[in-house]
Amino acid sequence: MEKHYIILILCSILVFANGNGVAQGPKAVRKWFKKHSNAKEKLTEFHFYLHDIVSGRNPTNIPVAMANATTQSPTYFGLIAAMDDLLTEGPEPDSKVVGRASGLFGSSSLQELGLHMTFNIVFTEGKYNGSMLAVSGYNQFNNRYRELPIVGGSGVFRLARGVATLENVWYNNTSGDALVEYHVVVLHY
């Protein structure tokens, strides 16, 4: 009996050290829901920087498709792109990695540079390693601040909800590259 407890504790420590994010099977998910059905949510905040690289040999944001009319549109209406942008703790590109912002967006406005975005913040470090936050919203790129809804998550962020506030640190209108500061507030169990 005691031996089992020790093994259990050791396993928990190992799971914690590797992050709780790696997707588990349906049994574990159902158990988690039962355990958390009356639990109180906690609030977690993140601060990091997104490196959006469009130019050069190793872009992390690439156009995938567009309509004929997109080339005539001042707002790139109809352009669809894929991104897998690096997220770091500080503004420098060689700062400690937090994870990646991985997903798709499309230019969905005729009037302004407005992007419908759907992507995941995929954490790759520490206790959040493997866990994700699902972001879905409308990014008015020329506004100083943009609010993108966090609509869910996986791993330690199951049933998460929150808001990511975006602000450009800089945007190079020649290369298209940008550095974007993210403040994320999220409620989760």
Ligand X SMILES: *[C@@H]1O[C@H](CO)[C@@H](O)[C@H](O)[C@H]1NC(C)=O
> Contact positions toward ligand X, by CB under 6 A?
18-19, 22, 55, 68, 124-125, 129-130, 172-175
Q: Which is nearer to ligand X, 134 or 178 (CB)?
A: 178
CB of 96 to ligand X, least distance (A): 11
What's the token pair of residue 62?
A: 């690439």
Q: Centre a 10 Å sphere on the Cβ of residue 172 and count the other Cβ atoms it contains.
A: 11
Nearer to ligand X, 37 or 174 (CB): 174
Tell me the three-class secondary structure of 130-162, residue by residue.
CCEEEEEEEEECCCCEEEEEEEEEEHHHCCCEE
Helices (H), the chain: 2-17, 26-36
Q: Which residue number, 109 or 124, has a Cβ lying nearer to ligand X?
A: 124
CA distances from 157 to 89, 113, 153, 173 (A): 19, 31, 5, 35
| Residue (85 or 177) nearer to ligand X, CB | 177
Secondary structure class of 18 (helix, strand, coil): coil
Write phi, then psi, for 67 (nearest 5 degrees): -90, 165
**Residue 90 and residue 97 in contact, taking contact as beta carbons nearer than 8 Å:** no
Q: How far is the CB of 68 from ligand X (least distance, A)?
A: 4
CA 11 to chain centre: 28
In the complex, the smallest distance separating the C-beta of residue 83 from ligand X, rounded to whole angstroms, is 18
Rounded least distance, CB 71 to ligand X, Å: 9
**What is the Cα–Cα distance from 14 to 9, expressed in whole angstroms?**
9
Smaller CB separation from ligand X, 29 or 41: 29
We find the least distance from the C-beta atom of residue 79 to ligand X, in angstroms, to be 15
Q: Closer to ligand X at the Cβ: 70 or 109? A: 70
Shortest reach from residue 141's CB to ligand X, in Å:
12
